[in-house]
């Protein structure tokens, strides 16, 4: 492990951080934009939004804002949150990011049951299907695992130490997910690779069996999601990336099943240029649709997955009319029939406000009876969103946002997202300066 970290610290271009540093910047990390994130409970009983270091949760069952409990004291996170995720059964929720803290929450009482300290900043998280292990990836391409005993939400907070599970050798891991049957953990990185690893029976001993590599993207892989099928318990993997494609994979063999060139479908809808990087994808369990967020698309693209033929095709584009709404994150539940979207970011430059989040919901995904009229996906008005004004006030920070402020901030979000996704190259002098001043140095035990 030390040799691998040392190799990274010598300045391998694959391990570059996400934003350039100038000597006039006292802390480069403070200038890195943090996109707003959304995650939905599997049964849609709650919705969570992360904006900067702020974690906001709304309970849809009793229509109230959630108060988080953390016995560690102080802020829940003291730097930008980069990843949030519910577990498969909804009992656990994980948040992590630039403060190098991985927090595991019990969703029954929304109490932090464990805080794990990472050696590096965290870029992705995943929870095993049985809820017994939390995995997270750091900025140097190492995936770590923490074991969690069974709990009922009343135990004292657990002090757990993470151990290395697997590594991508100095390539930043962008996404992490478990297969529907829990047999595999899938990791994607900035160097076009998707790795499928057998999740071992004893994860604390490391994961040494690679099932396959899914190779085909020609730019970084930004996101992963699974389609569940009756005949494939391991699921069908879909991925999006900087090459403006959504790809479908057989994870057992690593075979590429189909490619959908989404970039060529959105040029007329793009807000500027040809910014068609796929920033997020979300499968909608109740139908064979995949929602795709594209860097400059004001709305989402829906893809149809034909399971018998294993093919992808564009179904339609759902546009956000009248707003410069480019989603930064998507989320859905198992049975809610809704797609949740958020746009926004913190640490914005070029705007009068430092952070912004705006929540939208698309309906029309519920399975209907054979004789019922088929619903078309449609963007709900704010008054139609579950939770209504209370939810918007909690997750957005305010019920309404001034149009001029939103337009200015939305432009800043778009520019920042573009810069965030571009892989930076540095001169030797700047690289050495970054190494001297970065906050990711390995802590002494």
Indicate the range of 49-58, 116-125, 288-297 predicted with least confidence.
288-297
pLDDT higher than 60, residue 137: yes
pLDDT per residue over 367-397, tens digit each? 655 555 567 899 999 999 999 999 999 999 8
| Of 189 and 442, more confident | 189
Q: Using an 8 Å Cβ cutoff, are 191 and 15 in contact?
A: no
Pairing status of strand 255-261 against strand 278-284 = unpaired
Tell me if residue 192 falls in helix, strand or coil. coil
- Residue 281, token pair as written in the block: 């994808």
**Cα distance between residue 174 and residue 435, in whole Å:** 22
376 HSE (CA, 13 A, CB side) = 7
pLDDT higher than 60, residue 160: yes
Query: What residue has token string 């430059």?
Result: 349
Q: What is the 3-state secondary structure (H, E, C) of 360-407?
A: EEEECCCCCCCCCCCCCCEECCHHHCCCHHHHHHHHHCCCCCCHHHHH
**Cα distance between residue 23 and residue 247, in whole Å:** 40
pLDDT per residue over 201-220, tens digit each? 999 999 999 999 999 999 99
The pLDDT confidence band at residue 424, using thresholds 50, 70 and 90, is low
DSSP string for 196-262: EEEPPSSGGG----EEEEEE--SS-EEEEEEEEETTEEEEEEEEEETTSEEEEEETTTTEEEEEEEG
**Cα distance between residue 211 and residue 363, in whole Å:** 37
pLDDT at residue 3, rounded to an integer: 38
The CA distances from residue 266 to 6, 64, 217, 218, in Å, are: 42, 38, 19, 19
Computed on alpha carbons and rounded to an integer, the radius of gyration of the chain in Å comes to 21
Question: Mean pLDDT, to the nearest integer, of 318-335?
Answer: 89
Number of helical (H) and strand (E) elements in the chain, helices listed first: 4, 29
Q: Give ∠ CA 288-290-291 in degrees, rounded to 5.
A: 140
- Residue 102, token pair as written in the block: 């991985």
H/E stretch holding 122 reads strand 122-127
pLDDT per residue over 226-275, tens digit each? 998 888 899 999 999 999 999 999 999 999 999 999 988 875 444 444 57
Question: Mean pLDDT, to the nearest integer, of 156-172?
Answer: 83
The pLDDT confidence band at residue 152, using thresholds 50, 70 and 90, is low
**Cα distance between residue 392 and residue 380, in whole Å:** 13
| Of 83 and 266, more confident | 83
- The alpha carbon dihedral of 316, 318, 324, 329 has a sign of negative
Question: Mean pLDDT, to the nearest integer, of 21-45?
Answer: 70
pLDDT at residue 271, rounded to an integer: 44
pLDDT higher than 60, residue 127: yes
DSSP string for 64-100: EEPPPB-TT-S-S-SS-EEEEEE-TTSSEEEEEETTS
The pLDDT confidence band at residue 440, using thresholds 50, 70 and 90, is very low
pLDDT at residue 398, rounded to an integer: 85
The pLDDT confidence band at residue 22, using thresholds 50, 70 and 90, is very low
pLDDT at residue 26, rounded to an integer: 39
**Cα distance between residue 10 and residue 14, in whole Å:** 11
Tell me if residue 303 falls in helix, strand or coil. strand
Question: Mean pLDDT, to the nearest integer, of 140-151?
Answer: 87
In sequence order, what are the beta bridge partners of 65?
58
pLDDT higher than 90, residue 286: no
Query: What residue has token string 């294993």?
Result: 310
Q: Using an 8 Å Cβ cutoff, are 251 and 186 in contact?
A: yes
Indicate the range of 18-32, 211-225, 264-278, 408-422 predicted with least confidence.
18-32
Question: Mean pLDDT, to the nearest integer, of 42-52?
Answer: 95
pLDDT at residue 206, rounded to an integer: 94
pLDDT at residue 74, rounded to an integer: 66
pLDDT at residue 151, rounded to an integer: 60
| Cβ-count burial 81-115 (b if 16+ within 10 Å, e if not) | bbbbbbbbebbbbbbbbbbbbbbbbbbeebbbbbb
Question: Mean pLDDT, to the nearest integer, of 188-196?
Answer: 94
Tell me if residue 277 falls in helix, strand or coil. coil
The pLDDT confidence band at residue 401, using thresholds 50, 70 and 90, is confident
């Amino acid at each position: 492990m030390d040799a691998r970290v040392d190799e990274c610290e010598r300045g391998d271009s694959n391990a570059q951080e996400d934003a350039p540093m100038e000597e006039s910047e006292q802390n480069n990390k403070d200038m890195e934009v943090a996109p707003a994130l959304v995650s939905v409970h599997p049964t849609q009983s709650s919705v969570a939004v992360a904006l900067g270091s702020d974690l906001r949760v709304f309970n849809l069952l009793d229509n109230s804002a959630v108060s988080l409990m953390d016995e560690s004291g102080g802020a829940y996170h003291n730097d930008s949150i980069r990843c949030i995720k519910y577990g498969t059964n909804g009992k656990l929720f994980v948040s992590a990011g630039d403060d190098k803290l991985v927090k595991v929450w019990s969703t029954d009482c929304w109490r932090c049951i464990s805080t794990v300290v990472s050696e590096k900043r965290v870029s992705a998280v995943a929870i095993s299907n049985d809820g017994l292990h939390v995995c997270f990836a750091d900025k140097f391409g190492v995936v770590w695992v923490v074991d969690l005993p069974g709990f009922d939400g009343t135990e004292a907070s657990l002090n757990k130490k993470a151990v290395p599970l697997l590594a991508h050798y100095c390539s930043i891991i962008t996404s992490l997910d478990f297969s529907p049957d829990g047999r595999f953990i899938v990791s994607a990185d900035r160097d076009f690779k998707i790795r499928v690893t057998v999740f071992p029976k004893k994860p604390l001993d490391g994961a040494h069996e690679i099932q396959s590599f899914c190779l085909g993207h020609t730019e970084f892989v930004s996101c992963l999601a699974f389609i569940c099928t009756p005949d494939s318990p391991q699921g069908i993997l879909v991925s999006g990336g900087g090459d403006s494609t959504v790809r479908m994979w057989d994870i057992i063999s690593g075979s590429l099943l189909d490619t959908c060139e989404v970039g060529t479908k959105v040029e007329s809808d793009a807000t500027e240029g040809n910014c068609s990087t796929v920033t997020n994808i979300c499968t909608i369990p109740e139908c064979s649709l995949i929602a795709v967020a594209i860097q400059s698309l004001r709305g989402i693209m829906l893809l149809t997955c034909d399971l018998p033929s294993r093919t992808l095709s564009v179904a339609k584009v759902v546009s956000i009319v009248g707003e410069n709404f480019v989603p930064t994150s998507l989320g859905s539940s198992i049975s809610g029939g809704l797609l949740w979207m958020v746009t926004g970011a913190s640490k914005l430059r070029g705007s009068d406000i430092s952070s912004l989040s705006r929540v939208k919901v698309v309906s029309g995904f519920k399975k209907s009876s054979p004789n019922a009229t088929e619903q078309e996906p449609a963007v709900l008005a704010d008054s139609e969103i579950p939770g209504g004004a209370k939810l918007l006030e909690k997750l957005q920070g305010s019920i309404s946002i001034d149009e001029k402020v939103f337009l200015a901030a939305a432009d800043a979000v778009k520019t920042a997202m573009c810069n965030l996704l571009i892989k930076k190259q540095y001169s030797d002098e700047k690289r050495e300066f970054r190494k001297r001043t970065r906050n990711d140095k390995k802590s002494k035990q």
